[in-house]
Amino acid sequence: MNNKVDYNSICDNELKEQTIKEFHRAIVKDLINKYGAQTMKDVMRKVNLQH
């Protein structure tokens, strides 16, 4: 799986690493709120086993 994302296709400016981290943090918080912390831990365990 290729983890590299071409952010230029998403926005006009090159994103700073801190901006990307904050964006990811917001997504994670939303997923935890929607599905629960234990479910998300289980998902991450399964994802990590695949790599």
Concatenating the DSSP letter of every residue in the chain gives ------GGGT-SSPPPHHHHHHHHHHHHHHHHHHH-HHHHHHHHHHHHHH-
What pLDDT does residue 8 have? 61
What pLDDT does residue 45 have? 95
Domain boundaries, the chain: 27-51
Taking CB atoms within 8 Å and a gap of at least 24, the contacts of 15-24 are none
Around Cβ 32, how many Cβ atoms within 10 Å? 14
Q: Which residues of the chain have pLDDT under 50?
A: none
Q: Is residue 7 within 8 Å of 14, Cβ to Cβ?
A: yes
This prediction's pTM = 0.62
What pLDDT does residue 32 have? 96
